[in-house]
Amino acid sequence: MKRFIARRLMQGVVLLCMVATIVFFLGRLTGNPVDLMLPEDATPEDRTALIQTLGLDGPILDQFAIFVGNAVHGDLGTSIRMRQPAAEAFFDRLPNTLMLIPWALLLGMMLGIPLGVVAALHRGGWLDRAAGTVAVLGVAMPSFWLGILLIFVFSVELGWLPSSRMGGPDHYVLPVITLGTFLVAGFMRITRSAMLEVMESEFVKLARIKGLSETTVIWKHCLRNALIPVLTLWGVFVGNLITGAIVTETVFAWPGIGRLTYEAVIYRDFPLLQAVIILESILILAINLGVDILYAYVDPRIRLA
């Protein structure tokens, strides 16, 4: 297990280097942030001066070398727009996103897993088809559209729920639904196919031979086995949630890292963008490692191997 974790950490470092390189050069392809920052009547001298202050004047490879050098020492730069260390800005906003993600994950599982089980039990029947329709809808509806639709219905027309910003529990409802819907579909589909496979196995037959009730056979013996592939998806889904948060938080004016990412892109705030992407990557890598360790607890074959 220790060797496994060490190997995964090494892979993570390699991956991070690649992410940092890509985000550095890709960001600079979008243009120069100076154009967005200066007033329209600024002189070319003002422009050159600002470029120099921001350190954007040297050859791009030199800039990259400076960025890497600082990053290795833990300095991810200062946000151009917010005049605050980029990492600090990220960690200021992170808790707001982390308050959203678990609920979306929970919503996805609470609806998706039982739906998947029910669909598998009624394979080919109308319940299966109904669940399949939910899955297709969940995947097909883009979250910016779903978010706006929800705001229109529940905030504008019905006036039941607030449409934006953080606040009490009612502020969470719409963003969580927007963020969690595609997960319902994902969890449903993977649970369904895993259940169908498990239900055919011999140990399920033996459980029935023992005279166990169908409830125990399905929800204990089958589901526990079917959850193994479901858990694999966790890592992927958390990654999706963080990227999904970019859209959802923008729609709902939610001050989390998703919206921070969006702002960094829009304002060409290169240091912030680099910091946000790198830190988000670390977050996703850490969660994936956590999932792999969690795996061992569900599947004794891994734990004791």
Partner 1 sequence: MSDTVLEVRDLHTHFFLRRGVVKAVDGVSFSLRRGEVLGLVGESGCGKSLTALSLMRLLPKGGARTIKGEVLLGGENILERTPAEMREIRGRRISMVLQDPQTSLNPVFSVGDQLREAIERRRKGASLSEIMKEAVAALRRVEIAAPEQRIGQYPHQMSGGMKQRVVGAIAISGEPEVLIADEPTTALDVTIQLQYLKLLKRLQAENGMAILFITHDFGVVGRMCDRVAVMYAGRIVECGPVKQIFEAPSHPYTRALIASVPKMTGSAGRLTTIEGQPPSLMDLPAGCRFASRCAHVEQHCLDAYPGTVRVGDEHTADCWKVSAS
Footprint on this chain of partner 1 (rule: CB under 8 A):
200-213, 216, 221, 224-225, 228, 298-301, 304
Give the bridge partners for 78, in sequence order. Answer: 85
* CA distances (Å), origin 101, targets 134, 138, 178, 257: 21, 17, 11, 11
Burial of 267 (0-12, 13-18, 19+ CB in 10 A): middle
Residue 62: CB minimum distance to partner 1, A = 56
Residue 227: CB minimum distance to partner 1, A = 9
Question: Which CB contacts under 8 angstroms, 24+ apart, belong to 58-65?
Answer: 60/25, 60/28, 64/21, 64/24, 64/25
Residue 300: CB minimum distance to partner 1, A = 4
Separation of CA 20 from chain center: 18
Residue 26, number of CB atoms within 10 A of its CB: 11
Nearer to partner 1, 262 or 295 (CB): 295
Task: Read off the tokens for 114.
Answer: 């039982």
Distance between CA atoms of 62 and 183, rounded to whole angstroms?
Answer: 43
Nearer to partner 1, 56 or 212 (CB): 212
Nearer to partner 1, 128 or 299 (CB): 299
Residue 93, number of CB atoms within 10 A of its CB: 21
Residue 223: CB minimum distance to partner 1, A = 10
Residue 234: CB minimum distance to partner 1, A = 17
Residue 126: CB minimum distance to partner 1, A = 18
Distance between CA atoms of 95 and 39, rounded to whole angstroms?
Answer: 34
Nearer to partner 1, 207 or 276 (CB): 207
* Residues composing the chain: 305
Nearer to partner 1, 204 or 279 (CB): 204
Nearer to partner 1, 164 or 216 (CB): 216
Residue 1: CB minimum distance to partner 1, A = 16
Nearer to partner 1, 134 or 199 (CB): 199
